[in-house]
Amino acid sequence: MDIRFEDKVVVITGAGGGIGNAMARGFAADGAIVAVCDIKGGDKTVEEIVAAGGRAKEYILDVTDIDCAHRIMGDIARDFGGIDVMINNAGINVGPDKRQFTDEFDDEWWDKILDVDLNGVYNCTKAAVPYMKGREGSNIINISSVVGMVPFRRQCAFNAAKAGVINFSKAMALEFAEYGIRVNVIAPGSVCIPVTQTLWTKNTALEGLLSHIPQHRQGSTEDISYAARFLASEFASYITGTVLNVDGGWICGYARDF
């Protein structure tokens, strides 16, 4: 199975961050032209891709701003002729210091998280779809989380937003099949990115976390990149409306003896 995206236009939001950067580098290595969209930090991703001989362009995009989403998707389509793959990856969550039960949860953080993690998917998808119609193999991948299916305590907004992304994606899969556009979800477990690396090494909770994961390790950003490239490829052409957990088996059951 030789996955290639030669000359396909792949848009990735949050592509300046850990998982977005790995996906952008991976798609570019497979021949894609990558539109690196982020509110900040996309220039580093573009530099890495270009240094490796790939093609990428940075776009400053705030996914919470629908006008900005329409403008940027229009710019990308004008620059490269259309959009083949749309990956809604931008996301935020509260840090450990802000984690509270719902009755104590910070209202501003509720709004911020829902705005980026759920409204952002709506805004960018709505803006991208007109440029995806009629392009063979076009598809959308939304990055949710295992918490979209099995919630954690003290993270009500992230739980709600990521669950919303899953059901919303299934609804879009039903609709956009009419346009020949597939829609799928990746639900990462705990993925090691620079920010969480610091969190986990500072915090002895790592062992506790890993004891719940059957494979006893965190995922890498490459694990998510491989999954995205499979789902976006022609080899997944009969897959739509699905959720692919990339979580080391974390939510398939209880890794416990009772």
Q: From the CB of 3, what's the least distance to ligand NAD, in Å?
A: 21
Q: Nearer to ligand NAD by C-beta: 30 or 38?
A: 38
Report the amino acid identity of residue 221: T
Taking the least distance from each CB to ligand NAD, the nearer of 68 and 135 is 68
| Residue 91 found at the interface with ligand NAD (CB under 6 A) | yes
Find out whether 61 and 37 touch, Cβ atoms under 8 Å: yes
Name which of 14 and 54 has its Cβ closer to ligand NAD: 14
DSSP track, 62-122: -TT-HHHHHHHHHHHHHHHSS-SEEEE-------GGG---GGG--HHHHHHHHIIIIIHHH
Residue number, 127 or 135, with CB nearest to ligand NAD: 127
Return the residues of window 188-227 that contact ligand NAD according to CB under 6 A.
188, 190-191, 193, 195-196
Residue for token pair 């999954």: 227
Q: Which of 145, 155, 169, 240 binds ligand NAD (CB under 6 A)?
A: 145
CB atoms within 10 A of CB 141: 25
Nearest residue (CB) to ligand NAD, 77 versus 185: 185
Secondary structure of residue 52 in the 3-state scheme: coil
Residue closer to ligand NAD by CB (options 141, 173) is 141
Taking CB under 6 A as the binding criterion, the range among 3-11, 89-97, 99-107, 203-211 that sits at the site for ligand NAD is 89-97
- State phi, psi for 203 to the nearest 5 degrees: -115, 125
Q: What share of the chain is helix, strand, coil (3-state, %, to 5)?
A: 50, 15, 35
The footprint of ligand NAD on this chain (CB under 6 A) covers a number of residues equal to 28
Instruction: Determine the residue with CB nearest ligand NAD.
Output: 17
Kindly identify the residues of this chain, within the stretch 154-183, that bind ligand NAD according to CB under 6 A: none
In angstroms, give the least distance from the CB of 22 to ligand NAD: 8
Residues between 102 and 131 that touch ligand NAD (CB under 6 A): 116
Q: Which residue has the tokens 């573009």?
A: 46
When binding is defined by CB under 6 A, the residue of 72, 77, 89, 181 that contacts ligand NAD is: 89
Contacts 24+ apart (CB under 8 A), 51-59: 52/25, 52/28, 54/25, 54/28, 54/29, 55/28, 56/24, 56/28, 57/33, 59/35
- What whole-number distance in Å separates Cα of residue 111 and Cα of residue 41? 23
In this structure, are residues 30 and 3 in contact, taking their beta carbons and an 8 Å threshold?
Answer: yes
143 binds ligand NAD (CB under 6 A): yes
- Binders of ligand NAD among 12-71, rule CB under 6 A? 13-14, 16-20, 38-41, 61-64
Task: Find, among 90, 91, 65, 79, the residue nearest to 34 by Cα.
Answer: 79
Binding site for ligand NAD (CB under 6 A): 13-14, 16-20, 38-41, 61-64, 89-92, 116, 143, 145, 188, 190-191, 193, 195-196
